Structure 1
Protein backbone atom coordinates (compact mmCIF):
# COMPACT_ATOMS: atom_id res chain seq x y z
CA UNK A 1 0.00 0.00 0.00
CA UNK A 2 0.99 3.66 -0.26
CA UNK A 3 2.15 4.08 3.34
CA UNK A 4 3.96 0.72 3.56
CA UNK A 5 7.71 0.74 4.11
CA UNK A 6 8.56 0.95 0.41
CA UNK A 7 5.35 2.77 -0.54
CA UNK A 8 5.01 5.75 -2.84
CA UNK A 9 3.41 7.92 -0.15
CA UNK A 10 6.59 7.88 1.94
CA UNK A 11 8.72 8.54 -1.12
CA UNK A 12 6.56 11.47 -2.23
CA UNK A 13 6.49 13.03 1.25
CA UNK A 14 10.29 12.83 1.49
CA UNK A 15 10.71 14.18 -2.03
CA UNK A 16 8.31 17.07 -1.36
CA UNK A 17 10.16 18.08 1.81
CA UNK A 18 13.55 17.75 0.11
CA UNK A 19 12.37 20.02 -2.72
CA UNK A 20 11.25 22.70 -0.25
CA UNK A 21 7.51 22.02 -0.03
CA UNK A 22 6.69 23.06 3.55
CA UNK A 23 2.89 22.81 3.51
CA UNK A 24 1.27 19.40 3.32
CA UNK A 25 -2.27 17.98 3.27
CA UNK A 26 -2.89 14.30 3.95
CA UNK A 27 -6.08 13.06 2.27
CA UNK A 28 -6.93 9.54 3.43
CA UNK A 29 -8.73 8.22 0.36
CA UNK A 30 -10.94 5.15 -0.13
CA UNK A 31 -12.61 5.47 3.29
CA UNK A 32 -15.60 3.68 1.69
CA UNK A 33 -13.51 0.49 1.35
CA UNK A 34 -13.05 0.23 5.13
CA UNK A 35 -16.70 1.11 5.84
CA UNK A 36 -15.79 4.64 6.98
CA UNK A 37 -13.88 3.18 9.97
CA UNK A 38 -12.76 5.68 12.60
CA UNK A 39 -10.26 3.11 13.93
CA UNK A 40 -8.63 2.76 10.50
CA UNK A 41 -8.52 6.58 10.17
CA UNK A 42 -6.84 6.94 13.60
CA UNK A 43 -4.38 4.15 12.77
CA UNK A 44 -3.31 5.87 9.52
CA UNK A 45 -3.12 9.33 11.14
CA UNK A 46 -0.83 7.91 13.84
CA UNK A 47 1.43 6.12 11.36
CA UNK A 48 1.65 9.00 8.86
CA UNK A 49 2.17 11.59 11.64
CA UNK A 50 5.10 9.60 12.97
CA UNK A 51 6.64 9.28 9.51
CA UNK A 52 6.24 12.91 8.38
CA UNK A 53 7.64 14.10 11.71
CA UNK A 54 10.84 12.12 11.01
CA UNK A 55 11.10 13.81 7.60
CA UNK A 56 10.78 17.30 9.09
CA UNK A 57 7.08 18.22 8.92
CA UNK A 58 5.15 19.25 12.02
CA UNK A 59 2.04 17.00 12.14
CA UNK A 60 0.14 19.80 13.95
CA UNK A 61 0.44 21.92 10.80
CA UNK A 62 -0.85 19.13 8.52
CA UNK A 63 -4.60 18.63 7.97
CA UNK A 64 -5.66 14.96 7.85
CA UNK A 65 -8.86 14.62 5.80
CA UNK A 66 -10.66 11.26 5.42
CA UNK A 67 -12.21 11.20 1.94
CA UNK A 68 -13.77 8.98 -0.65
CA UNK A 69 -12.92 10.26 -4.10
CA UNK A 70 -15.32 7.73 -5.62
CA UNK A 71 -18.32 8.90 -3.58
CA UNK A 72 -17.18 12.52 -3.11
CA UNK A 73 -17.18 12.34 0.70
CA UNK A 74 -15.37 15.24 2.42
CA UNK A 75 -14.14 16.52 -0.93
CA UNK A 76 -16.30 19.64 -1.35
CA UNK A 77 -18.89 19.07 1.37
CA UNK A 78 -18.78 17.39 4.78
CA UNK A 79 -19.63 13.68 4.66
CA UNK A 80 -22.70 12.15 6.30
CA UNK A 81 -20.93 8.76 6.30
CA UNK A 82 -18.36 9.81 8.91
CA UNK A 83 -20.29 11.51 11.76
CA UNK A 84 -17.32 10.77 14.06
CA UNK A 85 -15.06 13.08 12.01
CA UNK A 86 -15.04 16.50 13.68
CA UNK A 87 -12.75 18.16 11.14
CA UNK A 88 -9.10 19.12 10.92
CA UNK A 89 -7.09 21.84 12.67
CA UNK A 90 -3.89 23.26 11.25
CA UNK A 91 -1.51 25.35 13.37
CA UNK A 92 0.95 27.68 11.64
CA UNK A 93 2.98 30.78 12.51
CA UNK A 94 0.14 32.86 11.03
CA UNK A 95 -2.38 31.25 13.43
CA UNK A 96 -4.64 28.24 13.27
CA UNK A 97 -7.30 27.28 10.77
CA UNK A 98 -9.97 24.60 10.80
CA UNK A 99 -12.22 22.85 8.32
CA UNK A 100 -13.85 19.58 7.38
CA UNK A 101 -13.25 19.11 3.66
CA UNK A 102 -10.32 18.68 1.30
CA UNK A 103 -11.32 21.89 -0.49
CA UNK A 104 -11.16 23.83 2.79
CA UNK A 105 -7.72 22.32 3.48
CA UNK A 106 -6.54 23.46 0.04
CA UNK A 107 -7.99 26.93 0.65
CA UNK A 108 -6.05 27.08 3.95
CA UNK A 109 -2.69 26.73 2.16
CA UNK A 110 -0.75 29.96 2.59
CA UNK A 111 0.45 31.33 -0.74
CA UNK A 112 4.24 31.47 -0.92
CA UNK A 113 5.85 34.90 -0.92
CA UNK A 114 8.33 35.86 -3.59
CA UNK A 115 11.64 36.86 -1.98
CA UNK A 116 11.87 40.08 -4.01
CA UNK A 117 12.78 42.16 -0.93
CA UNK A 118 16.12 40.33 -0.58
CA UNK A 119 19.38 41.14 -2.42
CA UNK A 120 19.57 40.07 -6.07
CA UNK A 121 20.76 36.50 -6.60
CA UNK A 122 20.68 35.23 -10.18
CA UNK A 123 22.69 32.07 -10.90
CA UNK A 124 23.78 32.18 -14.54
CA UNK A 125 22.94 29.29 -16.84
CA UNK A 126 24.71 30.67 -19.90
CA UNK A 127 26.26 33.79 -21.41
CA UNK A 128 25.66 34.73 -25.03
CA UNK A 129 27.75 37.15 -27.10
CA UNK A 130 25.36 38.54 -29.69
CA UNK A 131 26.82 40.63 -32.52
CA UNK A 132 25.45 44.18 -32.57
CA UNK A 133 23.84 43.72 -29.14
CA UNK A 134 26.64 42.63 -26.81
CA UNK A 135 26.88 40.29 -23.85
CA UNK A 136 23.64 38.65 -22.64
CA UNK A 137 23.89 36.57 -19.43
CA UNK A 138 20.90 34.25 -18.91
CA UNK A 139 19.59 32.78 -15.65
CA UNK A 140 16.76 32.47 -13.16
CA UNK A 141 16.12 35.21 -10.60
CA UNK A 142 16.15 33.46 -7.20
CA UNK A 143 15.88 36.51 -4.92
CA UNK A 144 15.63 40.27 -5.41
CA UNK A 145 14.76 42.04 -8.65
CA UNK A 146 16.75 42.97 -11.75
CA UNK A 147 15.97 45.98 -13.91
CA UNK A 148 17.61 48.24 -16.46
CA UNK A 149 19.97 50.81 -14.95
CA UNK A 150 21.02 48.57 -12.04
CA UNK A 151 24.67 48.00 -11.32
CA UNK A 152 25.41 44.29 -10.82
CA UNK A 153 28.50 42.34 -9.78
CA UNK A 154 29.31 38.90 -11.14
CA UNK A 155 30.90 36.43 -8.74
CA UNK A 156 33.46 34.92 -8.50
CA UNK A 157 35.12 37.17 -11.12
CA UNK A 158 34.08 40.31 -9.19
CA UNK A 159 33.21 42.13 -12.44
CA UNK A 160 30.82 45.06 -12.00
CA UNK A 161 28.70 46.50 -14.80
CA UNK A 162 25.37 48.16 -15.57
CA UNK A 163 22.27 46.34 -16.84
CA UNK A 164 21.08 47.86 -20.14
CA UNK A 165 17.88 45.84 -20.54
CA UNK A 166 16.04 42.78 -19.20
CA UNK A 167 14.11 40.29 -21.37
CA UNK A 168 12.08 37.15 -20.83
CA UNK A 169 11.03 35.00 -23.82
CA UNK A 170 12.24 37.73 -26.22
CA UNK A 171 10.00 40.37 -24.61
CA UNK A 172 11.31 43.44 -22.83
CA UNK A 173 10.62 43.43 -19.07
CA UNK A 174 10.29 46.34 -16.67
CA UNK A 175 11.93 44.07 -14.08
CA UNK A 176 12.72 40.41 -13.46
CA UNK A 177 11.37 38.94 -10.20
CA UNK A 178 12.03 35.64 -8.37
CA UNK A 179 11.06 32.71 -10.58
CA UNK A 180 11.64 34.55 -13.87
CA UNK A 181 14.11 33.10 -16.37
CA UNK A 182 15.67 36.22 -17.84
CA UNK A 183 18.31 37.36 -20.25
CA UNK A 184 19.85 40.76 -19.59
CA UNK A 185 22.10 42.93 -21.69
CA UNK A 186 25.14 44.34 -19.88
CA UNK A 187 27.54 47.12 -20.79
CA UNK A 188 31.17 46.52 -21.74
CA UNK A 189 31.65 42.94 -20.50
Structure 2
Protein backbone atom coordinates (compact mmCIF):
# COMPACT_ATOMS: atom_id res chain seq x y z
CA UNK A 1 0.00 0.00 0.00
CA UNK A 2 1.22 3.51 -0.80
CA UNK A 3 1.38 5.88 2.17
CA UNK A 4 0.35 9.51 1.77
CA UNK A 5 0.88 12.54 3.99
CA UNK A 6 0.22 16.25 3.48
CA UNK A 7 3.13 18.55 4.32
CA UNK A 8 2.50 22.28 4.04
CA UNK A 9 0.08 21.88 1.15
CA UNK A 10 2.29 19.30 -0.58
CA UNK A 11 1.09 15.70 -0.86
CA UNK A 12 3.88 13.16 -0.28
CA UNK A 13 3.55 9.61 -1.61
CA UNK A 14 6.08 6.87 -0.83
CA UNK A 15 6.87 5.08 -4.12
CA UNK A 16 9.67 2.60 -4.95
CA UNK A 17 12.00 3.78 -2.21
CA UNK A 18 11.66 7.44 -3.18
CA UNK A 19 9.14 10.09 -2.24
CA UNK A 20 6.85 11.56 -4.90
CA UNK A 21 5.63 15.06 -4.12
CA UNK A 22 2.66 16.82 -5.66
CA UNK A 23 1.68 20.41 -4.83
CA UNK A 24 -1.68 20.50 -3.02
CA UNK A 25 -2.29 24.01 -4.35
CA UNK A 26 -0.37 24.67 -7.58
CA UNK A 27 1.64 27.86 -7.58
CA UNK A 28 2.24 29.94 -10.68
CA UNK A 29 5.79 30.97 -11.57
CA UNK A 30 6.89 33.17 -14.42
CA UNK A 31 9.08 31.07 -16.71
CA UNK A 32 11.46 33.95 -17.26
CA UNK A 33 12.25 34.38 -13.58
CA UNK A 34 12.06 30.76 -12.41
CA UNK A 35 15.10 28.70 -11.51
CA UNK A 36 16.92 31.51 -9.76
CA UNK A 37 20.33 30.55 -8.45
CA UNK A 38 20.49 29.32 -4.87
CA UNK A 39 23.38 29.80 -2.44
CA UNK A 40 25.55 27.13 -4.08
CA UNK A 41 24.02 27.05 -7.57
CA UNK A 42 25.94 28.22 -10.64
CA UNK A 43 24.15 30.27 -13.27
CA UNK A 44 25.82 28.70 -16.31
CA UNK A 45 23.54 28.31 -19.36
CA UNK A 46 22.62 24.71 -20.16
CA UNK A 47 24.55 24.77 -23.44
CA UNK A 48 27.70 25.64 -21.53
CA UNK A 49 27.08 22.93 -18.93
CA UNK A 50 26.56 20.26 -21.61
CA UNK A 51 29.59 21.42 -23.63
CA UNK A 52 31.74 21.13 -20.50
CA UNK A 53 30.33 17.65 -19.90
CA UNK A 54 31.33 16.53 -23.40
CA UNK A 55 34.79 18.00 -23.09
CA UNK A 56 35.38 16.26 -19.74
CA UNK A 57 34.38 12.82 -21.05
CA UNK A 58 31.04 12.66 -19.25
CA UNK A 59 27.98 10.93 -20.71
CA UNK A 60 24.62 12.59 -21.29
CA UNK A 61 21.71 10.16 -20.94
CA UNK A 62 18.02 9.65 -20.54
CA UNK A 63 16.95 6.77 -18.30
CA UNK A 64 14.66 5.46 -15.59
CA UNK A 65 16.08 5.73 -12.09
CA UNK A 66 15.23 3.97 -8.82
CA UNK A 67 16.87 4.34 -5.41
CA UNK A 68 18.63 1.21 -4.15
CA UNK A 69 18.60 2.35 -0.50
CA UNK A 70 22.40 2.33 -0.34
CA UNK A 71 24.10 5.50 0.99
CA UNK A 72 27.47 6.66 -0.26
CA UNK A 73 30.22 5.01 1.84
CA UNK A 74 32.54 8.01 1.60
CA UNK A 75 29.88 10.72 1.68
CA UNK A 76 26.43 10.28 3.25
CA UNK A 77 25.16 13.18 1.13
CA UNK A 78 25.11 10.80 -1.86
CA UNK A 79 22.75 7.86 -2.40
CA UNK A 80 22.80 5.12 -5.02
CA UNK A 81 20.51 5.14 -8.05
CA UNK A 82 19.95 2.16 -10.36
CA UNK A 83 19.61 3.19 -14.01
CA UNK A 84 17.45 1.23 -16.45
CA UNK A 85 16.17 1.91 -19.98
CA UNK A 86 19.32 3.97 -20.53
CA UNK A 87 19.75 5.84 -23.79
CA UNK A 88 23.12 7.55 -24.23
CA UNK A 89 22.64 10.90 -25.96
CA UNK A 90 26.34 11.82 -26.10
CA UNK A 91 29.63 10.63 -24.67
CA UNK A 92 30.68 7.10 -23.65
CA UNK A 93 27.86 4.54 -23.64
CA UNK A 94 26.21 3.93 -20.28
CA UNK A 95 24.72 0.46 -19.90
CA UNK A 96 21.27 -0.27 -18.51
CA UNK A 97 21.34 -1.70 -14.99
CA UNK A 98 24.27 0.62 -14.19
CA UNK A 99 24.51 2.22 -10.77
CA UNK A 100 25.53 5.80 -10.01
CA UNK A 101 25.46 8.15 -7.03
CA UNK A 102 23.14 11.16 -6.86
CA UNK A 103 23.42 14.12 -4.54
CA UNK A 104 20.80 13.98 -1.78
CA UNK A 105 21.43 17.33 -0.02
CA UNK A 106 21.19 15.37 3.24
CA UNK A 107 23.59 15.63 6.14
CA UNK A 108 23.74 13.77 9.47
CA UNK A 109 20.91 15.89 10.91
CA UNK A 110 18.72 16.33 7.82
CA UNK A 111 18.61 18.64 4.76
CA UNK A 112 21.83 20.62 4.37
CA UNK A 113 21.62 24.40 4.27
CA UNK A 114 23.70 26.56 1.96
CA UNK A 115 23.67 23.96 -0.82
CA UNK A 116 21.62 23.32 -3.93
CA UNK A 117 18.26 21.63 -3.43
CA UNK A 118 19.46 18.07 -4.07
CA UNK A 119 18.01 15.80 -6.77
CA UNK A 120 14.60 15.36 -8.37
CA UNK A 121 13.35 12.95 -11.02
CA UNK A 122 9.95 12.09 -12.47
CA UNK A 123 7.35 10.12 -10.54
CA UNK A 124 7.81 7.17 -12.93
CA UNK A 125 11.62 7.37 -12.62
CA UNK A 126 12.26 9.16 -15.93
CA UNK A 127 15.29 11.43 -15.94
CA UNK A 128 17.83 13.32 -17.98
CA UNK A 129 21.33 13.13 -16.57
CA UNK A 130 25.03 13.81 -16.85
CA UNK A 131 27.05 10.78 -15.76
CA UNK A 132 30.63 11.32 -14.66
CA UNK A 133 32.76 8.19 -14.27
CA UNK A 134 34.84 9.60 -11.41
CA UNK A 135 34.16 11.92 -8.50
CA UNK A 136 36.22 13.43 -5.70
CA UNK A 137 33.23 13.05 -3.34
CA UNK A 138 32.35 9.36 -3.66
CA UNK A 139 33.88 6.21 -5.16
CA UNK A 140 32.25 5.42 -8.50
CA UNK A 141 30.22 7.30 -11.12
CA UNK A 142 27.91 10.15 -10.21
CA UNK A 143 24.89 11.42 -12.09
CA UNK A 144 23.40 14.91 -12.03
CA UNK A 145 19.72 14.46 -12.81
CA UNK A 146 16.66 16.41 -13.93
CA UNK A 147 13.14 14.97 -14.25
CA UNK A 148 11.72 14.07 -17.66
CA UNK A 149 7.93 14.34 -17.77
CA UNK A 150 6.48 13.39 -21.13
CA UNK A 151 8.63 15.15 -23.72
CA UNK A 152 9.78 17.88 -21.31
CA UNK A 153 12.84 18.21 -19.06
CA UNK A 154 12.03 19.93 -15.76
CA UNK A 155 14.79 22.32 -14.73
CA UNK A 156 15.07 23.82 -11.26
CA UNK A 157 17.39 24.60 -8.39
CA UNK A 158 17.46 20.85 -7.66
CA UNK A 159 20.60 19.88 -9.54
CA UNK A 160 21.44 23.56 -10.15
CA UNK A 161 19.96 23.58 -13.66
CA UNK A 162 19.45 26.84 -15.54
CA UNK A 163 16.88 27.39 -18.29
CA UNK A 164 18.27 30.81 -19.24
CA UNK A 165 19.15 29.79 -22.82
CA UNK A 166 15.96 27.83 -23.60
CA UNK A 167 12.31 28.72 -24.06
CA UNK A 168 10.25 27.10 -21.31
CA UNK A 169 7.02 27.23 -19.37
CA UNK A 170 6.17 26.86 -15.66
CA UNK A 171 5.71 23.35 -14.29
CA UNK A 172 3.75 22.37 -11.17
CA UNK A 173 3.33 18.58 -11.36
CA UNK A 174 4.50 15.69 -9.13
CA UNK A 175 8.19 14.80 -8.90
CA UNK A 176 10.25 12.31 -6.89
CA UNK A 177 12.99 13.12 -4.37
CA UNK A 178 15.30 11.37 -1.92
CA UNK A 179 13.20 10.74 1.21
CA UNK A 180 13.83 13.41 3.84
CA UNK A 181 15.75 15.73 1.50
CA UNK A 182 13.00 18.36 1.15
CA UNK A 183 14.30 18.87 -2.40
CA UNK A 184 10.88 19.48 -3.96
CA UNK A 185 9.90 22.24 -1.54
CA UNK A 186 13.32 23.88 -1.71
CA UNK A 187 13.34 23.88 -5.50
CA UNK A 188 9.74 25.13 -5.62
CA UNK A 189 10.81 28.34 -3.88
CA UNK A 190 12.39 29.49 -7.15
CA UNK A 191 10.14 27.48 -9.48
CA UNK A 192 10.26 24.75 -12.08
CA UNK A 193 10.64 25.30 -15.83
CA UNK A 194 9.67 22.69 -18.44
CA UNK A 195 11.76 22.77 -21.63
CA UNK A 196 11.51 20.43 -24.65
CA UNK A 197 13.63 17.29 -24.32
CA UNK A 198 14.59 17.45 -27.99
CA UNK A 199 15.98 20.96 -27.50
CA UNK A 200 18.09 19.78 -24.56
CA UNK A 201 19.33 16.77 -26.52
CA UNK A 202 20.27 19.06 -29.42
CA UNK A 203 22.42 21.11 -27.05
CA UNK A 204 24.04 17.91 -25.77
CA UNK A 205 25.11 16.81 -29.24
CA UNK A 206 26.07 20.08 -30.93
CA UNK A 207 29.74 20.87 -31.40
CA UNK A 208 31.25 23.77 -29.52
CA UNK A 209 32.21 26.69 -31.80
CA UNK A 210 35.87 26.73 -32.72
Common fold by TM > 0.5: no
Larger radius of gyration: 1
Shorter-chain TM-score range:
under 0.3
Greater strand fraction, Structure 1 or Structure 2: 2
Greater helix fraction, Structure 1 or Structure 2: 1
